[in-house]
A = this chain, B = another copy of it.
Amino acid sequence: MSRCENCIIRQFNSLRAMSKEELKRVSDTKTTKILKKGETIFEEGEKLNGVFCVRGGVSKLSKLSSNGKDQIVKLATKGAVLGQRSVISEEVANLSATAVNDMEVCFIPKDAIVDTLNSNPNFAVEVLRHMAHDLKEADDVIVNMSQKTVKQRVAEAFIYLEDNFGVDDKGYLALTLSREDIANVVGTATESAIRIISEFKKLGLIKASGKKIAIVDAKGLADLAVGI
């Protein structure tokens, strides 16, 4: 089985601040899981006894609102460590993680993480930096959600998808989401998202081939997103 010491993914997350010995321990206790699209990694309210390091594929982190709708709070890809927050605060998970794609994740039991946190300041600070970054992103999302129109948020979502997941050889967004997922990222009704996507197509901002979407007029989309 592959070893964390040789895993490139590690360079993208806080595990890179671990010493050789610490990493060895992680590697000895970790297990690897393959998940198919739609499967859940963990659910809101579940007690996690470890974290999940994403080696491939994309996961959506979502939370059920009291009105019964799902809100996607974040999309996590290669290098992301899921469940870290819950393990650190010793609370149940506040989000659900679901595979949007076929995924490969490594489960790392929490002791290896917690012990390293308590003994290796480099690692603790590295985790802290990542969490500080996540917090900033979350603050930005709050502002966007509360101050922008649905149309602006959809435009932003496409830009975000292109920036973070890239495009395929034909220029289509590498990450394909269902209209429902897009609606749940943006925080709107599925019908509203569909209508806006249709409008964007008519305006020549995007084009679509089946479920795949490509940004045609990046400038126009960006202008729309900031309200021009």
List chain A positions with a Cβ less than 8 A from chain B: 63, 65-67, 69, 71, 73, 84-85, 88-89, 91, 94-95, 117-122, 124-125, 127-129, 131-136, 138-148, 186-188, 225-227
Contacts and interface: CB of A to CB of B under 8 A. Distances in A.
A135 B135 contact: yes
Which of A117, A134, A139, A225 counts the most chain B CB atoms within 10 A? A139
Given A124-B121, A187-B146, A139 B73 contact: yes
A143 to B, nearest CB: 5
In the A-B complex, list the 5 residue pairs whose CB atoms are closest, starting with the nearest. Answer: A146-B187, A65-B147, A124-B124, A138-B138, A66-B226
Secondary structure at the A interface, as helix, strand, loop or mixed, is: helix
A117 B126 CA distance: 10
B142 A145 contact: yes
8 contacts: A66-B147, A67-B147, A73-B142, A117-B124, A131-B132, A135-B135, A138-B138, A145-B187
Q: How many copies does the complex hold?
A: 2
Nearest to A65: B147
Contacts of A128: 88, 117, 124, 127-128, 131
Given A66-B226, A117-B125, A125-B118, A146 B71 contact: yes
Contact of A143 (B73, B117, B132): B73
A91 B132 CA distance: 10
B138 A139 contact: yes
B124 A71 contact: no
A69 B141 contact: no
B85 A148 contact: no
B135 A85 contact: yes
B65 A143 contact: yes
Given A73-B142, A117-B121, 16 more contacts: A63-B139, A73-B143, A85-B132, A85-B136, A89-B132, A117-B125, A117-B128, A118-B122, A118-B125, A119-B121, A120-B121, A128-B128, A138-B139, A138-B142, A141-B142, A142-B142
